[in-house]
Amino acid sequence: MRIALNIQYNGASFHGWQRQPDCCSVQETVENAVSKVADESISVVCAGRTDALVHALGQVVHFDTDVQRELIAWEFGVNSYLPKDISVNWARIVPNDFHARFSAVKRHYRYIIYNARTRSGVWNDLVTWISRDLDTDKMLSAAKYLLGEHDFSSFRSAQCQSKTPIRCIDSLELKRCGEFIVLDVIANGFLHHMIRNIMGTLLPIGSNEQPIGWMQFVLDACDRTKAGVTAPPNGLYFMGVYYPQVFDFPLLAPISVLPF
């Protein structure tokens, strides 16, 4: 039997998704909890690995097991073994050909900036604080250069293992909600640090250090050294995954968890 779980987590206490020796990872924590419910060793596969300090509201994982459990056990039972900063949203039985990563057709990331003169005591680990004034209209105009299919080499990290830098951004929105600036990007896939490097390039434009057209120059250069510095990880959220309709279960993140 193949089970899919939709999970959310605050990444502040974890060294990323992937299991690592001598480090606390989301994967290891989830696998330990699922294994206790299954009463056997379970390995999970995720839709998209996240870095240290990155959060998720709609991460999807799958695992295989011969153990018969009610779905409520995979939800509430697993939650009972998880720490307070990880939770299962739902569990579903899926076809054996479903794969959390390879069946995905689109992914949704969100980056949140707290744009205020002083830092927040409440949002500290959940946003990136930028104290200087940012012009969101200019940032949005620059971001629109990225819509469509492009070579995103300028926005990939040196550690990126993808075979191709070509990606297609289907949707890109940037808006201000009071003191928060929110960037939402939906694409068929993402390179390592792609969203953080995009935001790192938008910030100099928003603060009038670079013109709007600089984004087009950076994109065309296909050279990481031409882009802005990598934005911090704590403002990044893995929001959700889109799959073909044949996999009939709720996939999107509970967006209402965030107040914007």
> Hey, which residues are catalytic here?
51
* Closest to 24 in 3D by CA, of 82, 73, 77: 82
